Amino acid sequence: MASTPSADPENSDAAAARQVLSVRGLVVEIPTRAGVVRPVDGVSFDIAAGEILGVVGESGAGKSMTGAAVIGLIDPPGRIAGGAVWLDGARIDDLGPEALRRLRGKRIGMIFQDPLTALNPLLRIGDQLTETILTHLRVSPAEARARAVAALAEVGVPGAAQRIDSYPHAFSGGMRQRVVIALALAAEPDLVIADEPTTALDVSVQAQITALLRRLCRQRGAAVMLITHDMGVIAETADRVAVLYAGRLAEIGPVRGVIATPRHPYTAGLMAATPSATGPGARLRQIPGAMPRLDAIPQGCAFHPRCPHVMARCKTEAPPPFPTEGGAAACWLLAPQVAR
Amino acid sequence: MRPPRTALGRMLDSDLGRSFRRSPLTVLAAVVALALILGAALAPLIAPADPHDPASLNLMNGFTPPMTPNAFTGEAFWLGTDDQGRDMASAILYGLRISLFVGVAAVALAMLIGVTLGLIAGYVGGWVDGVIMRVADIQLTFPAILVAMLIFGVAKGLTPPESRDQMAIWVLILSIGLSDWVQFARTVRASAMVEAQKDYVAAARLIGRSGAAIMLRHVAPNALGPVLVIATISLALAIIAEATLSFLGVGAPPTSPSLGTLIRIGQGYLFSGEWWILFFPALTLLALALAVNLLGDWLRDALNPRLR
């Protein structure tokens, strides 16, 4: 199951080989007029087959950029400046564009945030599904169509055999997102990256979609990277959770553990700031301040200006990941020599 | 209800049809345009004479006024004759043929060049975009008619003198087409840039489609919406450009005259009283350009979601 990402990338290659996706020390750099910014800085995590890893953080924390880096869809001038990405034990971050193009469509599926723009409005959904299937599986067009109908039925589109010839505008938002999921899973990928798959949907549909995603990935043994800013979605869908802050991994671990006993002050703040409908109308707590701009990330721990437990060391030295129960958290509070 | 099958099907669907029927001016323009197009297409069947055949002309019939029997031959012509005794009605029908053919072909050429370059510029971006759009900017600093004349002159210099008259039509199409691609390129580039940012393009990249396949199958159809409107308005401009070039004597030759050539011939007789030689070709050109323009305007408004 979940292995703890080690601080030393070289020794973790063996562990990486057993995972569907392994990311080690990933750094993404974008040159801007004001200098080079790092939206992703040294992020490491693994996802095993059939496992759902939630990636959570505020806007601009580097969630989507991490997903884009994994599938090699970072638009120039942005680039992967360091670290490594393994898919099924094979390194994919240094592949040429052609090799990457062949590999990612077959082995990686992507579910997008906005189902309104994720489908080509001028193509029937059946055409979009068969396009994907025919690109990657060696089947006849008739077989591809049959598979497309089956895929639609599987994601719960009623009357799939008739609906396959409809255009996207004839579907509601929730139905479109089902189609997008069918599209992402059509080529039977090993890894599915879902970037805010429920953000554009209303709450009742959200629950259906997350349940569907969970069920399908479990059945197929696909690894899922679920990117969201919604702790609620993580709590009900993911097995493990990675918390990103300013492009760095703040904490990673099993969902239950992280939610019940967050070890990083940022995670704790995030949990406290999640509204709950059960309690009486108490004032929602918030984390003071805002996430730093990418060109002005403070020295040391990126979270230290907002941290209630800030120490002298936090301002100068960036904390390495310290092991927690089944995971890790990058906070000096967890350093063995620190007496709390 | 069954969903419309294609973009064209959706366009011809009720929304557009209703907007068409509610605008009497547009209906009138469509009727006029259709009548002129039919007249041009059926010219060999309905024209009283073949104006391209010098042997059929009788010089004695020269300068016959409309609907009046000629003093020498007793022959009468609906719209009179020109200095060569050529039946104006026939000359206009055949001239309309040339004007329409040149206009449509020039717009098709401009569209082909403009849409292709616009798609590449918008989808590929970077220095490719820079080069294409700077060329477009430079071309726009010259009046289109000047560019067309320049291309016409160069092309004419390159063709052997004996085949110049046959080549004239194609040179016209080339010069008008090349002078008119810029607005297609600009419009398509803008919409291609918008479409390229959408997730379905990312999805197509992700499933491993090549850049060309994505551009043709996904970006192009979604970026082509405004092209139809520009093409219609361009058609009117191309017809006028052809007439202008021919009027200036660099277009269609007098042996196979277009409307512009007829107007050039006619203006020499305007002040000596033979008004009909100028008037009827000019009226036809006006009606054609106006009808096509009105259709283009209506199409632009009808397809504009903000005006619905």
* B273-277 mean pLDDT: 85
Q: Whole-number mean pLDDT of chain A?
A: 82
CB contact under 8 A, A187 and B203: no
Residue of chain B whose alpha carbon sits nearest to that of A130: B207
DSSP state for residue A228 in the 8-state scheme: E
Contact criterion met (CB below 8 Å) for B223 and B191: yes
Which domain, by its residues, includes B272?
25-42+86-307
Confidence bin at B254 (pLDDT 50/70/90): confident
Q: Which region among A82-91, A107-116, B8-17 has the lowest average model confidence (pLDDT)?
A: B8-17
Q: Which pLDDT band holds residue A16 (cuts at 50, 70, 90)?
A: very low
CB-based contact B207 A136, cutoff 8 Å: yes
Residues of A in contact with B208 (CB under 8 A): 101-102, 104-106, 135-136
Question: Which of chain B's residues have a Cβ under 8 Å away from the Cβ of A109?
Answer: 206
* pLDDT at res. A277: 61
Subunit contact A71:B218, Cβ cutoff 8 A:
no
Q: How far is CA B8 from CA A151, B116, B228, in A?
A: 29, 20, 11
pLDDT of A112 > 70? The answer is: yes
How do strand A240-245 and strand A248-254 relate by DSSP bridges?
antiparallel
Answer yes or no: do B207 and A135 touch at CB < 8 A: yes
- Which residues, in sequence order, are CB contacts of B64 under 8 Å at separation 6+? B70, B75, B76, B77, B80, B81, B85
Q: Which residues of A touch B (CB under 8 A)?
A: 71, 73, 101-102, 104-106, 108-110, 112-114, 117-123, 128, 131-132, 135-136, 166-167, 169-170, 180, 183, 187
Cβ pair B96, B40 in contact under 8 A:
yes
In chain A, what are the domain boundaries? 10-122+167-273+291-334
**Closest chain B C-alpha to A71 CA, distance in angstroms:** 8
In this prediction, residue A131 carries a pLDDT of: 87
Looking at residue A53, what is its pLDDT?
92
Q: Is residue B7's pLDDT more than 50?
A: yes
Number of domains in chain B: 1
B206 CB neighbours in chain A (<8 A) are 71, 73, 104-105, 108-110
Minimum CA–CA partner of A105 in chain B: B207
Could you tell me which residue, A222 or A281, shows the higher pLDDT?
A222
Using CA of residue B298, residue B304, residue B307, residue B308, what is the dihedral sign? Answer: positive
Q: pLDDT of A117-164, one tens digit each?
A: 888 888 898 888 898 888 888 888 999 999 999 888 888 888 888 888
Nearest-Cα distance to chain A for B300, in Å, is 20
- The alpha-helical segments, DSSP class H, found in chain B are 7-11, 14-21, 24-41, 43-46, 88-124, 126-140, 144-158, 164-179, 182-196, 199-206, 211-214, 220-223, 227-247, 259-267, 276-303
Does the residue B94 lie in any domain? yes
Q: Which residue among A110, A113, A123 places its CB closest to the CB of B206?
A: A110
Q: Which residues numbered 183-212 in B keep a CB inside 8 Å of some CB on A? A: 198-200, 202-210
Give residue-wise pLDDT tens across range B99-118: 999 999 999 999 999 999 99
Q: How far is CA B159 from CA A188, A246, B102, B172, B173, in A?
A: 60, 67, 19, 13, 15
CATH of the domain spanning A10-122+167-273+291-334, picked from 3.40.50.10090, 1.10.3720.10, 3.40.50.300, 3.40.50.970: 3.40.50.300
The distance of B129 to chain A (nearest Cα, Å) reads: 15
- pTM for the complete prediction? 0.74
- Using CA coordinates, name the residue in chain A closest to B224: A122
Q: In this structure, how many other beta carbons lie within 10 angstroms of the beta carbon of residue A157?
A: 21
**What average pLDDT does the structure give for chain B?**
84
Chain A CB within 8 Å of residue B128 CB: no
pLDDT recorded at residue B10 = 57
- Rounded to an integer, the average pLDDT of B22-27 is 86
Helices (H), A137-277: 141-154, 160-163, 173-185, 203-220, 231-237, 255-260, 265-272
Q: Which residue has the higher pLDDT, B55 or A134?
A: A134
Distance from CA of B26 to the nearest CA of A (A): 28
Q: What was the pLDDT predicted at B106?
A: 94
Instruction: Return the residue in B197, B200, B214 with the most chain A beta carbons within 10 A, the one to mutate for interface testing.
Output: B200
Residue B185: CATH number of its domain: 1.10.3720.10
Question: What pLDDT is attached to residue B85?
Answer: 79
CA distances from A121 to A116, A169, A218 (A): 9, 7, 31
A128: chain B residues, CB-CB within 8 Å: 200
State residue A160's pLDDT score.
Answer: 84
- Rounded to the nearest angstrom, the minimum Cα separation between A154 and chain B is 20
A-B C-beta contacts closer than 8 Å:
62
Give the one of B200, B206, B221 whose C-beta lies nearest to A73's C-beta.
B206
Of the candidates B203, B210, B221, which has its C-beta nearest A110's C-beta? Answer: B203
Q: Which residues in chain A have Cβ-Cβ distances shorter than 8 Å to B199?
A: 112-114, 117-118
Report the amino acid identity of residue A251: E
ipTM here: 0.72
Degrees (nearest 5) of the Cα angle A217, A213, A251?
85
The average pLDDT across B42-58 equals 81
Asked if A117 lies within 8 A of B3 by C-beta distance, the reply is no
Highest mean pLDDT, choosing among A60-69, A142-151, B143-152, B165-174: A142-151
Tens-place pLDDT, residues A304-323: 888 888 888 888 888 888 88
- In this model, does residue A89 exceed pLDDT 60? yes
Q: Does residue A339 register a pLDDT over 70?
A: no
CB–CB of B207 and A105 under 8 A?
yes
Flag whether pLDDT at B209 surpasses 90: no
Tell me, yes or no, whether B11 lies in a domain.
no
The phi and psi torsions of A46 (rounded to 5 degrees) equal -130, 155
**Chain A residue with minimum CA distance to B126:** A76
As a whole number, mean pLDDT of residues B7-19 equals: 62
